[in-house]
Amino acid sequence: MMKNKINWGILGCGKIAHKFAKGLSTLKDARLLAVGSRSQEKAAEFAAEHKAERACGSYEALAADPEIDIIYVATPHPWHAANTRLCLENDKAVLCEKPFTVNAAESASLIAFAREKKLFLMEAMWMRFFPVMEGLRQWISEGRIGEVRMLKADFGFRAEWNEESRLFNPDLAGGALLDIGIYPLSLAYMVFGSAPEALTGLADIGTTGVDEQSAYILRFEGGKLAVLSSAVRTKLPHEALILGTEGSVRIPDFWHGTEAWLESGGRKPKRYRFPITSNGYQYEARAAMDSLRAGQTEHPLMPLDESLAIMQTMDDLRSLWGLRYPFE
Ligand SMILES: NC(=O)c1ccc[n+]([C@@H]2O[C@H](COP(=O)([O-])OP(=O)(O)OC[C@H]3O[C@@H](n4cnc5c(N)ncnc54)[C@H](OP(=O)(O)O)[C@@H]3O)[C@@H](O)[C@H]2O)c1
């Protein structure tokens, strides 16, 4: 029987870590016990702001804390593999930010290690745990839009040009695909429930050598298609369209959506609201905690083999575009 409160640690005190800590604070059976930063001062500030008991001046000290049950890895993706491995080595369950790693080889190695240690591990694909996604999965399973035939989804914004930033710097595994293309891709995997059998795509590779915009088409079993795009220098509509033989679902801002339009049986599209509480980061935390309490080492809504297959798809797309990071 697990204790009443699950003790969390947060590794890396950056932008997303603040948001996660806020979401986590709404869960009564969660306690943010400790945070870890490369800087003691930064950890102390973060701990004070989010009422964490302990502030660690290194990731190693955080991972070694014997009272922590699970660590949220909130560093940029080039460090996910090393940071997650450190936590697993210290027998901690891990919820690791998206994209899971930089490439499939890194993911496969981490997954094998977590399985060997029988520890919980999950990619923090927060989108999948939103109420609107629960609604979508239910409508699809009830056959409200018939057989799903096609999915269209785009995610892109015009970021300020800065060749040093993690969006544009190839040494930091920059580019639109890994940073935000992961959302439409992960949605396609969720809706079609398997890896694609074929794919194609084109990218505009900018002066720093990473994909500034890209469009890709994936074909799944039975001829189902996903038509997707992502960009870091072009503003795109953040909308997902799921098209079936008997209707469709449209989800505005699908990666953190709060409503969906269902068109079913030839009737006028109807709007359904799926409000979220707090900032929405608590849903993925809740899911991880449910798994821990149930003794699961993976969560059924974001299983490890799927995170690996998604990384493989991103590797395949990058290979089509001739995009290899300098450290690969
Ligand atoms: N789910 C979402 O909605 C969402 C949104 C944005 C980002 N993300 C993901 O969250 C992760 C972090 O993104 P972020 O925007 O929070 O990043 P960030 O603020 O730039 O960096 C996060 C933290 O990573 C740590 N870090 C460790 N090594 C680093 C290095 N060599 N250079 C820079 N930072 C380093 C730093 O923490 P310390 O200084 O404390 O050690 C830094 O504050 C990424 O994987 C990103 O894709 C998810």
Helix (H) or strand (E) holding 294: helix 282-294
Would you list the DSSP string of 223-281?
Answer: GEEEEEEEESBS----EEEEEESSEEEEEETGGG-SEEEEEETTPPPEEEE---STTST
Residue 38 CB–ligand 1 contact under 6 Å: yes
Q: Output the six-digit token pair for 207.
A: 């002066």
Mutate to test the pocket of ligand 1, among 15, 127, 157, 171 (most ligand atoms within 8 A of CB): 15
Cα of 20 to ligand 1 centre, how many Å? 12
Ligand 1 closest atom vs CA 256:
3
Residue 20 CB–ligand 1 contact under 6 Å: no
Residue 316 CB–ligand 1 contact under 6 Å: no
Could you tell me which of 161, 174, 237 has the C-alpha nearest to residue 205?
174
Residue 11 CB–ligand 1 contact under 6 Å: no
Residue with the smallest CA separation from ligand 1 atom 11 is 76
Q: Is 47 exposed, middle or buried (0-12, 13-18, 19+ CB in 10 A)?
A: buried
Give CA 120 to chain center in angstroms. Answer: 16
Dihedrals phi, psi of 35, to nearest 5 degrees: -130, 150
Q: How far is CA 105 from CA 65, 99, 176, in A?
A: 29, 13, 20
d(CA 248, CA 238): 17
Per-residue pLDDT tens digits of the chain, which is 328 residues long: 567 899 999 999 999 999 999 999 999 999 999 999 999 999 999 999 999 999 999 999 999 999 999 999 999 999 999 999 999 999 999 999 999 999 999 999 999 999 999 999 999 999 999 999 999 999 999 999 999 999 999 999 999 999 999 999 999 999 999 999 999 999 999 999 999 999 999 999 999 999 999 999 999 999 999 999 999 999 999 999 999 999 999 999 999 999 999 999 899 999 999 999 999 999 999 999 999 999 999 999 999 999 999 999 999 999 999 999 999 9
Dihedrals phi, psi of 50, to nearest 5 degrees: -105, 15
Ligand 1 closest atom vs CA 83:
27
Cα of 171 to ligand 1 centre, how many Å? 15
